Amino acid sequence: MARFFLPAVLFALFSGGAHAHVKWFSEPTAAVSDAGFTHSEIIAALLLLLILLAVARWLNAQVAKRGAAHCAPWFHDTKPLGYAFLLLSIYFLGCAFSGFILAPHVAATKGVTALCIGLQATVSILLLLNRAQMFMAGLISSLFVVASVADVTFLLEYVLLLGLAWLVYSTQRIPNEPTMMILRSALGISLVGLALTEKLLQPELAMNVLQQYPLNFMAHLGVPFSDKWFVLAAGMVELLIGLLLMLGWLVRTTILVLLALMIASNSYFLMVENHALALMEFIGHLPVFAAGILLLCYSSTVTRNARELALQSRSAITTEQRLSAESGH
């Protein structure tokens, strides 16, 4: 139960709307006053982040000590991969029908957009058929390059798509451990990038969204929690989750919390009956859900180094016990 403590606290504190993509919903509004963070707020947030990382590292080591059964992948068949490909197919088809390139905020010329719509529809069909994997991976990578030229921050925020392109290229039946490490790291980098570009380095973007949509549930509960603090908290939680995935600590638990946050942010738009934004949020988050399914089912819950240390520790204890028993006889 200890390994669920840290993510559960994060979910309880910062769930609703924290992971809605700011650039998808931010509309030009009046300038937000007092949007920047003070030095004391930044220092306090960084200290808390370091403490939580230290706790996560300790919990990760405790999980590793419980044995290989708690660290091994959950699935050894192709069903989760098929579900992930289905979600990705819906994502690319949704992007094509919506008329944008991989993300709602990416803008390009009409000719480039039309070409990319066709390419996205092609990727969607190939994913359903599970054919021409090298060609598919090339198309996804090409779309990523086009989107990155249109928006340079896309390079950092959507590295996950490159991880998924590698997965498509390299996996025939069951993803191997290096592929899962690449996918996990790519998802972590994307979350860190989004935390920095949409919240921590440009808090005014997120605060504009809060002016348009009452996502700050803490204020509605009567807690004196300003929109600026909410943005800082959401950004730090996203940063923490990204770092945990990059480090390979508490992978499954972290993924479960991440998916719960995604569902919470999407549920908000359904509750306020803004179905267009709910659909946009759903389509945009499908690559994260696909990666989450794969990491839950095929990835180890802790890093290889932690497992090796735990195995070495148990081996040393077993050897010591055997020698002690022999000396007793």
Q: pLDDT tens, position by position, for the chain (329 residues)?
A: 444 444 444 444 444 444 556 555 555 444 555 567 888 888 999 999 999 999 999 998 887 777 554 555 666 678 889 999 999 999 999 999 988 899 888 878 889 999 999 999 999 999 999 888 999 999 999 999 999 998 888 999 999 999 999 999 998 888 888 899 999 999 999 999 999 988 888 888 878 877 777 776 666 666 677 778 888 888 999 999 999 999 999 898 999 999 998 888 788 778 777 778 788 888 989 999 999 999 998 876 555 444 444 444 455 445 555 555 555 55
Helix, strand or coil for residue 237? helix
pLDDT at 20: 53
Nearest partner of 20 among 282, 203, 295, judged by Cα: 282
pLDDT at 21: 61
Angle between helices 275-298 and 177-195 (to 10 degrees): 140
In a domain, 280, yes or no: yes
Distance CA 155, CA 271 (A): 33
In a domain, 26, yes or no: no
The helix (run of H) or strand (run of E) holding residue 255 is: helix 251-271
Distance CA 139, CA 134 (A): 9
Contacts with 70 (C-beta within 8 Å, 6 or more apart), sequence order: 63, 301
Fill in the amino acid letter for 87: L
In a domain, 75, yes or no: yes
Q: Which two tokens stand for residue 89?
A: 């197919």
Contacts with 53 (C-beta within 8 Å, 6 or more apart), sequence order: 240, 243, 244
Distance CA 130, CA 87 (A): 13
pLDDT at 35: 62
In a domain, 322, yes or no: no
Nearest partner of 135 among 168, 88, 183, judged by Cα: 168
Fill in the amino acid letter for 298: Y
pLDDT at 26: 55
Nearest partner of 258 among 46, 85, 11, judged by Cα: 11
Determine contact, residues 300/307, Cβ cutoff 8 Å: yes
Contacts with 219 (C-beta within 8 Å, 6 or more apart), sequence order: 225, 226, 227, 230
b/e burial code for range 320-329 (CB count within 10 A of at least 16 → b): eeeeeeeeee
Q: Report the half-sphere exposure of 263 (CA within 13 A, side-chain side).
A: 9
In a domain, 304, yes or no: yes
pLDDT at 7: 43
First-to-last alpha carbon distance for the chain, in angstroms, is 40
Rounded to the nearest angstrom, the gap between the alpha carbon of residue 95 and the centroid of all alpha carbons in its chain is: 19
- How many domains are contained in the chain? 1
Helix, strand or coil for residue 100? coil
In a domain, 117, yes or no: yes
In a domain, 11, yes or no: no
Q: Write out the residue range of the structural domain in which residue 224 sits.
A: 37-313
Distance CA 145, CA 141 (A): 6
In a domain, 132, yes or no: yes
The helix (run of H) or strand (run of E) holding residue 322 is: helix 304-328
Fill in the amino acid letter for 116: C
From residue 199, alpha-carbon distances to 22, 141, 188, 193 in Å are: 8, 27, 16, 10
Instruction: Write down the pTM of the prediction.
Output: 0.80
